[in-house]
Amino acid sequence: MKRPTIADIARRAGVSKVAVSYALNGRAGVSEATRANIMAIAAEIGWRPNSAARALNGARAHTVGLALCRPARILGMEPFFMELISGIEAELSVRSYALMLQIVPDHDQELAVYRRWWGEGRVDGAFVVDLHFDDPRVAELEALGMPAVVIGHPSQAGSLVSVWSDDSAAVRETIEYLAALGHRRIARVAGLPRLVHTALRDRAFTEACERLGLTGHAVVHTDYTGDEGARATRRLLSSPDRPTAIVYDNDISAVAGLSVAQEMRLDVPRDLSIVAWDDSPLSQVVHPPLTALSRDIPAYGAHAARRLLDLVAGERVPSFEDQAARLTPRGSTAPPPA
């Protein structure tokens, strides 16, 4: 009941282990007749290469890692990561690479996991997500020498390769659209302030508002949950000069905001316009369907995976800028009330 090894094949074929190794790897050094015979026996007894034995000879582990540092409850709600992972998978699977996944409580643990994976030879490289400012992970990973691809803005990625998209452009497009509709007071319900992409969006938002001469723009930070999105919305809508449009950093808080508006007897989009970041089935399913900033997240993940595999293969890989999110107008945006 033991797994068959090349020694078993060698015995049955009446040749040496080495001949079997050459034959199975398509290398020169065996006659075609012997090769065919060996292949037939291998197939018959269901031989598989032992990946541990191969890895011992310096071969790649054929696995890359992803450590996610977010509470489980938030991960469950965010379609983003699941879509990202499925995109990564799609690219990995064509090259027969596997994905090692671990959810960690904090960045120290995350680094420990990367160090362990790399030190033990379990992965050939890894992804880094949710970059924040002065992120200690960047320097540590550079020191480790492990191939790594940052999924996020290159400005904080140090010498690591990054795959990113221009959020600022998407923010500008959104604000210009809302301004063109006639909105003057626009608010932004943002995500975690320490994340780089949140700060970049914040700045782009403020700059766009000021450039267009919009008064009273406000930014409220949340932790991406529906609860905090709802609270932020309630606060914004309770102020005397409440905004006529709110831009949310993810879909769950946008939906929560929509709910709050309706609970406060405001009609969307007549009294309040709503824009969600990251389109998802959820945005389209509520009533009215949400105007959203949509992007192809699985493709984003696939791009990152491709870069990482190239990096593992020893190629020089430049950072890659993916398409910016595109504004997809739906029923939740309209001119402000007169």
Partner DNA sequence: CCACGGTCATTAACCGGTTAATTCCAGCGA
Partner DNA sequence: TCGCTGGAATTAACCGGTTAATGACCGTGG
**CA nearest neighbour of 125 among 134, 136, 114, 133:** 114
Give the contacts of 34 (CB within 8 A, at least 6 positions apart): 13, 15, 19, 23
Footprint of DNA on residues 31-50 (CB under 7 A)? 31-34, 47-50
Indicate which single residue of 50, 155, 215, 239 sits in contact with a copy of itself (rule: CB under 8 A).
Answer: 50
135 binds a copy of itself (CB under 8 A): no
Closest to a copy of itself by CB, 73 vs 316, is 73
Shortest distance, CB of residue 101 to a copy of itself, whole angstroms?
Answer: 5
Q: Is 125 in the site for a copy of itself (CB under 8 A)?
A: no
Which one, of 176, 218, 210, 228, lies nearest residue 71 by Cα? Answer: 228
Of 52-60, 85-93, 103-111, 280-288: span binding DNA (CB under 7 A): 52-60
Backbone angles phi, psi at 194, to 5 degrees: -80, -10
Spatial CA neighbour of 141 closest among 123, 120, 157: 157
CA of 188: how far to CAs of 20, 144, 220, 222, 233, in Å? 65, 38, 6, 11, 10
**The only residue of 36, 40, 45, 53 in contact with DNA, by rule CB under 7 A:** 53
Q: Pick the binder of DNA from 40, 45, 59, 313 (CB under 7 A).
A: 59
Residue 26 contacts DNA per CB under 7 A:
no
Q: Which of DNA, a copy of itself, none binds 29 (CB below 5-8 Å, type-dependent)?
A: DNA
Our finding on whether 29 is near DNA (CB under 7 A) is yes
At residue 283's C-alpha, the angle toward residues 289 and 334, to 5°, is 40
Q: Which is nearer to DNA, 49 or 331 (CB)?
A: 49
30 forms part of the interface with DNA (CB under 7 A) = yes
Which partner from the list DNA, a copy of itself, none does 117 bind, CB cut-off 5 to 8 Å by kind?
Answer: a copy of itself
Nearer to DNA, 312 or 334 (CB): 312
Q: Which of 273, 280, 294, 333 binds a copy of itself (CB under 8 A)?
A: 280
* Residues recorded for the chain: 338
Paired with 80 in beta bridges are none
Q: Could you say whether residue 314 binds a copy of itself (CB under 8 A)?
A: no
Strand order in the sheet with 186-190: 218-221, 186-190, 245-248, 273-277, 291-294, 326-328
Angle between helices 107-119 and 136-144 (to 10 degrees): 10
Which is nearer to a copy of itself, 200 or 282 (by Cβ)? 282
Kindly state whether residue 93 participates in binding DNA, applying the rule CB under 7 A: no
Identify the residue among 11, 95, 116, 203 touching a copy of itself (CB under 8 A): 116
The tokens 């699941």 sit on which residue? 82
